[in-house]
Every structure is written in structure tokens, then in C-alpha cells.
Structure 1
């Protein structure tokens, strides 16, 4: 059996998504803090880097002119209206301080899938990556969208189940159940590191 080349895809670990004072703080700040997901993800990302596995972070940003943002959903319309908060240099668009120094690369995009509209899938393939370990927030939004997209693109995808969370536990659990069926399966961080 051929050796698989892995990468961690770390989705939306940015101030606007994670921090209570970020754009989505009212929705996600408290559930993220309560879940303890940040600490687990930091440990996982650090261990992956130490094992030589690339950790690629994606950020949802909106450049001047809106880039590839399409206002075709309520989510995208809301972000489009608040695009100044998502400019690449804006405080809210930055990775949270806990993730500082853990990225092999940081890739920006204006889509819900971390692999859409940015050439990241092609870059990973060019590096020989065929397996993605996904972390991020929120499970039912960018994580699920990216995992399904990556699977459709031919990657073997595992969502790291203890390094993702959503606004509520019921939604999170339902999303993980969906991902168990639509990807190569969810794994906890210790298993992913093995």
C-alpha cells in the first residue's frame, strides 16, 4: 500500500470567528470557549507540525472589490455588508493569537469551502498531498462544506472531531454524523496523530 501524504487544513481560526468580540462572536464566541476546542486544536496543530505534517490555515477575508465573494446566501450577504471587518489586514481577519507560529501557510478566500476560489487544492496536490485532516469552526458551515468539497475533489478526508465545534452541540453532532458518511470518517486528534 502506498504511503499517504497528509496535510492539516485548519479552517477559520481567526478573530472574527473565534473571539467573543469578533464579527461572529455573538454566535460562536461562547460555544467555542465552552467547548475547549481552541486548546485541543493548538495541541494538535503543534504536534502535527512537529511530526513534519504541513498545517495550512485558511482565513475568510474580503479584499477591496470583494474578490470572489458572491452574495448568494444570507451568510454571504451579511459578510458582504460588513466587509471592512474582513479586509485581509483588519484585526478580525487575523488568526487568533493562540495559533501564532503554527501555520506552514495561510491562504485567504471568499467562499465557505476553504478550497474554493484560491488554488489551494492544486497547490496541495502539487506537493503530493492526498489526505486532509480538517480542523476548524464551525462544524456545520466551513468544516462540512470544505470536507465535502475536498472529498469531491478526490482527497481522502478525515475531520478531527475534537478539533471542531459549532454554535450548539446538537448541530455539531448532526454535522459530525453527516461527515462520518460523506468523508473517510471522523477521527479524534490522538488517532489522527498516529
Structure 2
């Protein structure tokens, strides 16, 4: 049975630290992201989703003074914890990239890999009768996969927008999409996600 509740876009980690060459993860992700063309596709998708009446909620990985809810229990979290000045909410690297910033209906910060962890976003979505999430973002195998699985476990119907996500390499990206096809309601290309 189809979910009769509304839809929303979760736009994950479209921030300078992740997307841009000068960002913290620039050496790993900026080249593959640029070659993939995902930024332009995602910006067009976000714009079309808003035109269709869907809210676009952007998440940012930030670390406030005192570290907020950051837990250094993985190599990834230890690395960002050591570089936390670059992730302060007002730091240049924490800002949304210009192609996406103007399309956000809301921006939610957290210190977790899942965009739904360590904040009240899931409660806000439920209170606004959102049942289906369309996920875009970088990286496919990190925040996208973690958030998609988390949202599914929370009872949302989740579709990753397959042409609006990217990873550090194509093999990892393809493997992650294959996993997501099995662990969510399925991946959709942008045109199909809007119908």
C-alpha cells in the first residue's frame, strides 16, 4: 500500500567541507563529485521538488563549541573531531554550497553520520505529515546510506535519488546503491522521484 502522507527531500551534506576542493574532504570527494556532475543534477532536482510543493531540508555536519553530540567512536568521527574548527557552524567549510543553499526550506545541523540522528528532524517530519523521504547527498556510502537505513528503521518510506548522490569512486557508489535498493523502498532517478 502506498504511503498517503506527504513527501520531502532530505539533502545531505551539500556543504563546502564535503563538495569543494578547499573543504575538509575535498581531497577525497571534490574530484569525483565534479566529474559526476551531481551538483547540477541535485540543484535542478531540489528546485523541481520545491516547485512540486515538497519541502527541501538540508542537513549539515557541524561541530559546535563543546562538541555537541559528537561521539568519537569511529575513525571518521575521530578525524572530524580533531579538525572540529573547520566544522564550526559559522566556519566557511560548514556552509552549504551556493548551488543548494538558496533552495533549502530548512537547514538542520548535527554531529552524526545519519541526518536524522542527534536532532528533532524525524519528529518534525512526522508532525508535518511527511511519510516519504527522497534523499540526495554526498557520500552515497556514508551519510546517504546511513540516513536512508535509519529513516527506514524509523518507519519512513525512503527512496534514494540515484542520480543525485555520489561517492569517492564509482565502484563504492554502485555497491552502495545496490545495498540501498534492498534496504529501502528502492532507488529512483530524479525524473521518476518527482512523479
- TM-score normalised per structure 2: 0.98
Instruction: Name the residue aligned to 1:88.
Output: 89
Residue pairs, 1:144-159, within 5 angstroms: 144-159=145-160
Residue pairs, 1:1-194, within 5 angstroms: 3-194=4-195
Q: What is the DSSP-based 3-state SS (H/G/I as helix, E as strand, rest coil) of the residue aligned with 2:130?
A: coil
- Structure 2: tracts of 5 or more residues without a match: none
Q: What is the DSSP-based 3-state SS (H/G/I as helix, E as strand, rest coil) of the residue aligned with 1:66?
A: coil
Following superposition, the deviation at residue 159 of structure 1 comes to: 0.1
Following superposition, the deviation at residue 100 of structure 1 comes to: 2.6
Aligned partners of 2:164, 2:101: CA distance in 1, in Å?
A: 17
Deviations 1:147-194 (CA, angstroms, capped at 9, x unpaired): 000000000000000000000000000000000000000000000011
Q: What is the DSSP-based 3-state SS (H/G/I as helix, E as strand, rest coil) of the residue aligned with 2:191?
A: helix
Following superposition, the deviation at residue 101 of structure 1 comes to: 1.3
Aligned partners of 1:137, 1:157: CA distance in 2, in Å?
A: 16
Aligned partners of 2:121, 2:143: CA distance in 1, in Å?
A: 15
Following superposition, the deviation at residue 11 of structure 1 comes to: 0.1
Aligned partners of 2:154, 2:52: CA distance in 1, in Å?
A: 26
Aligned partners of 1:115, 1:26: CA distance in 2, in Å?
A: 26
Aligned partners of 2:28, 2:163: CA distance in 1, in Å?
A: 20
- TM-score normalised per structure 1: 0.99
Aligned partners of 1:189, 1:4: CA distance in 2, in Å?
A: 20
Q: What is the DSSP-based 3-state SS (H/G/I as helix, E as strand, rest coil) of the residue aligned with 2:146?
A: helix
Q: What is the DSSP-based 3-state SS (H/G/I as helix, E as strand, rest coil) of the residue aligned with 1:58?
A: strand
Deviation beyond 3 Å, 4+ runs, structure 1: none
Following superposition, the deviation at residue 2 of structure 1 comes to: 6.1
